[in-house]
Structure 1
């Protein structure tokens, strides 16, 4: 079994402590004593256990099995942090189709016809707000006043708790970053707010400013890159969030922050990360050993069973015709052909330069490339990128729930971010260095320089396609298409975009998702996004 560096039992137990705060969709802690009791803190280890509970919200939906949910009104399949993130960032784009459109909310996401009542749109918003609530309550319970009142005087424990608090603030920043990106606004709460109140609405500018300020405040105290326990945040995690924000700042706040993005990229690149020698080892059951992972959403087939993104993708990518699940460490039939590739993504790998590209795990066989009927699982090519088998050939401990962590942030993305900023005119980036980074990725994918490009090939259109080739199914595509003005409108269409079999133009308001109707009802300070 894969060893989690942050104790699994503590993670599960810690998540239990946060269950009481999610009795309604406002997900604001209702009672300080119910949320984390003073009795709980009688054990010095409880502070790390509580920290594990905050991390646990990224990997688990409840404590009584994979099907449980600690957010009332939402099931595990539509309220898992990573799964909802993947649905909204990838299923709504040119990369992938889900076969079973009777599953709640799926058809509307992949056909770009969602409304404010979509359960997946609600699931991501509610889970993100739950993460904010968990973080705030942990911070409330670990103030110097609280610690003094409990008689906590051990200097090492106090230092550890201060580290935990900084990590929790970084995790809160992650939640607000995702809410800012996908919804453009959110209810705003910190640990200083009274429990049970309806938080004010913060727009993108306000959220951007808060996240940036809070991360910069804690960065000096976060551990150096690659020095914390696996699965816990460090400076590189904070730099990555900031880098992503700066990369997309023109979308978020109408400002060019590409030079700031380059600064964050250089910080990360200088942090000791190196490209994993084998591209596909980043997506196997032991990918926690990868030298390029900056932060992952953890998965374990026995202890933290959940229907998260890697369990969904590995079981879902098994072909209905191929029955090739055994080669991926799951049952031979997997989920019966749940996931297939849209034609436009497949075509990103057309041409002789991709013949030996390890990133091209596309299986065509006798399948037609076009998906004319979404319910026909034999139409459309399938993918074999993710695996529940380790780099040394050892299958995961469970054929249904996988050991493979979801790669939220990794070094390859940083290389591509740097290259894009160089082409967008960042004065502190060079196109020659950008070309080196791009060819580093292509040499890794081709086991040599056979597919290297020249400076004349390095364009913004190339970068967008290369991001798809390198980062597909990793939760980036929607954000990328929006940044390149390819998501809404009709300049780039893909199969079933806008519910047209060949794709139709999308209205501009679909660049953000609607605020869920349930969230509007629970917090009168929230307003609906324009167009919904």
Structure 2
């Protein structure tokens, strides 16, 4: 058996207590340790850092945390189950606590990414990992610094104050202020940028090149006011303009191509998290959104779980223009049929034996019928799909770069210029070109979202009714990026997250804009109190 000794942050360390002796020396069960293990290539060493990103996309991790705490998605219980001790409904209600498994799972994946990046950077700089011919050590270190900044961005965004560790130390870390983490990320990306590759395409697909790093930096600047209290619109705009000016990326003519099973050649994807049904699993959104009967819709080799759970909040669905193709390209709705397109699929629970027809309206966010709620239709489920999908997740894409630029322009006073960019993004989604056109005034207007608390399908309490500044633009972001793990961040930036009511959610205070450190991490390191 191999034992590869790694330095751990000691944030969450499972400990098994039992019979033991007083010899505390490490017992090595083979002669393979970090000191004498050698990698054949830098790619093998760096791969673990990128592979770790795939762990973010389960139903109890980063992906659904970003969506189900927002006004876009909900994961209610239903006759097939999905209560799971209330872990999903608490995210919708904003009543999560430090014991919620989603927080611990997210924390562990993000800090595992940091730990691995710290180790690989050290090994590259010390020469323990050989640099391939044709590449420079500086470029590989820069790439790992960008990847580490990516993990720290998600830590900063989700947890606020948190440990900031940049070496392979074994000491228990203190918490750093959110502003300190923000400053570190900006400094790291700025320093790494000149050494990052400007190459695009398959050789760097799923890796940080200069443009992916700029997209990351632009996202950090876009949310700087949330993180630090100081807006950085001009800095975000500069990074977006650099990406646009490179002429390396373009919008797909067909919106659905970005989310196809074979999307690795998409000219729109700036940074992907690659998935493969055989060699790189972790993306299985259909398993927790689709009804089991939908197995026959795509002749799948596996059966989705029960009647599924992750679904659109009807108030969000109501904001769409019916002429917007993204409605059907994002949401699975209406009567469902087998692969032949003729045979109706049937319910198994409260609709047992009846034709399966997905309806929009939800009674609340706590318990629904098996056919209530529109489901995921954005990521292609190929015929014969296995448990893990092969769709690469477009974490940053060119459409997002354009929309970040538009938002910076709008917030800086150029709403008409922003409207032209938004119109360009919308064009592919409307058969009538006139319907794609938006104005600066529409972006500045209040949102179309009808916020309020719902009971038994009826809004019974509107809650906070203040207009949402730039609400029209927030709507545009929702239609373009649903199911892409962005909505929580957008809700916070536009002042909605801790103020508005939707479905069964009511505001729970400004403190809910960040998640508490998981209790297991605090138990392992008292410095995190």
Smaller-chain TM-score bracket: 0.7 to 0.9
Which residue of structure 2 aligns with residue 69 of structure 1? none
Q: Normalising by structure 2, report the TM-score.
A: 0.79
Indicate if the aligned counterparts of 1:314 and 1:328 stay in contact, CA closer than 8 A: no
Which residue of structure 2 aligns with residue 371 of structure 1? 363
Indicate if the aligned counterparts of 1:329 and 1:387 stay in contact, CA closer than 8 A: no
- Quote how far apart the aligned CAs of 1:401 are: 1.4
Residue 373 of structure 2 corresponds to residue 388 of structure 1? no
What per-residue deviation string (whole Å, max 9, x for no partner) do you get for residues 301-339 of structure 1? 112233xxx31x22333246xx33454573585223232
Which residue of structure 2 aligns with residue 392 of structure 1? none
- Quote how far apart the aligned CAs of 1:120 are: 0.9
1:316 to 284, 288, 297: 288
Pairing of 1:7-18 with structure 2 (within 5 A):
none
Which residue of structure 2 aligns with residue 40 of structure 1? 37
Distance 2:430 2:410 in 1: 24
Which residue of structure 1 aligns with residue 278 of structure 2? 302
Pairing of 1:179-258 with structure 2 (within 5 A):
179-191=155-167, 195-224=169-198, 226=200, 228-258=203-233
Which residue of structure 2 aligns with residue 405 of structure 1? 392
Pairing of 1:32-111 with structure 2 (within 5 A):
37-41=34-38, 45-60=40-55, 84-98=61-75, 99=77, 100-102=82-84, 105-111=87-93
Pairing of 1:108-147 with structure 2 (within 5 A):
108-144=90-126, 146-147=127-128
2:133 is paired with a residue whose SS is helix
1:289 is paired with a residue whose SS is coil
Distance 1:95 1:364 in 2: 19
Q: Normalising by structure 1, report the TM-score.
A: 0.79
Change (3 A) 1:407 1:524: same
- Quote how far apart the aligned CAs of 1:88 are: 1.6
Distance 1:333 1:128 in 2: 30
- Quote how far apart the aligned CAs of 1:90 are: 0.4
Indicate if the aligned counterparts of 2:330 and 2:482 stay in contact, CA closer than 8 A: no
1:232 is paired with a residue whose SS is coil
Q: How many residues align?
A: 458
Which residue of structure 1 aligns with residue 146 of structure 2? 170
Residue 527 of structure 2 corresponds to residue 522 of structure 1? no
- Quote how far apart the aligned CAs of 1:182 are: 0.5
Distance 2:437 2:274 in 1: 35
RMSD: 3.0
Gaps of 5+ in 2: 15-24, 336-356, 445-469
Distance 1:356 1:273 in 2: 21
Which residue of structure 1 aligns with residue 350 of structure 2? none
What per-residue deviation string (whole Å, max 9, x for no partner) do you get for residues 113-153 of structure 1? 10011111111112111111111111122224x45xx9x6x
Change (3 A) 1:476 1:155: closer
Distance 2:112 2:526 in 1: 18
- Which stretch shifts more, 439-448 or 228-237? 439-448
Gaps of 5+ in 1: 1-15, 61-78, 390-394, 498-503, 528-532
Structure number with larger C-alpha Rg: 2
Pairing of 1:318-357 with structure 2 (within 5 A):
318-319=290-291, 323-327=293-297, 330=300, 334-335=304-305, 336-349=307-320, 351-354=321-324
Which residue of structure 1 aligns with residue 18 of structure 2? none
1:53 is paired with a residue whose SS is helix
What per-residue deviation string (whole Å, max 9, x for no partner) do you get for residues 146-182 of structure 1? 45xx9x6x8837x443322211111110111000000
